[in-house]
Every structure is written in C-alpha cells, then in structure tokens.
Amino acid sequence: MTWPKRDMLAITVDGAVLVNVLAIEEDNPPPLALQRGIFVGVMLTADEQKLLAEHIYDATAEAASIISGRRRRARADRK
C-alpha cells in the first residue's frame, strides 16, 4: 500500500475542517500549495463535514473488521 504524498485533511484549533486545495484544484493549484511543508486548505461546509464523518466511520469500521477477521482466522489456525 502506498500512502498519499500529501495530507488531504486538517483540523484547525477552533474545530474547522479543511481539505487540501490540491484535492480540489488539481489542474490549477495556487503556487503556495505546491511548496513542501505548506498546507493550503479549503474549509468544508457543515454538509461536507457530515459526509466526511460518515465515510471516515465506514472506513474505520471496515479496517477494524479486516483486522479482527485476520485475528480470528489466526486463532482458529492455531487450534
């Protein structure tokens, strides 16, 4: 598995959720966003935050299921 080369999300100290501008403006990103170590984000709307939360929940639930399934199979193989 390869990880994204850039962070896609950020949360500010006041709780705002930002998405990396490079995920939105792939063809014409602002020059600052291309600099290493600089995160340029666009604030998500309340509806977008809700959608993000639903997808994160689904993704983490799926990952937990995969891990628990592997452990159960490993335990069964040892018996």
SS3 59: helix
Query: What are the residues whose beta carbons fall under 8 Å from the beta carbon of 25, sequence distance 6 or more?
Result: 33
Can you tell me the mean pLDDT for 62-77? 93
What is the percent of the chain where pLDDT is above 70? 94
- Supply the pTM of this predicted model: 0.67
User: What kind and span of H or E run contains 8?
Assistant: none
- What 3 state SS string does 13-53 have? CCCCEEEEHHHHCCCCCCHHHHCCCCCCEEECCHHHHHHHH
What is the distance between the alpha carbons of residues 16 and 39, in angstroms, rounded to a whole number?
A: 14
Please state the domain extents for the chain.
1-44, 45-79
* pLDDT tens per residue across span 42-59: 999 999 999 999 999 999
Please tell me which residue, 69 or 1, carries the higher pLDDT value: 69
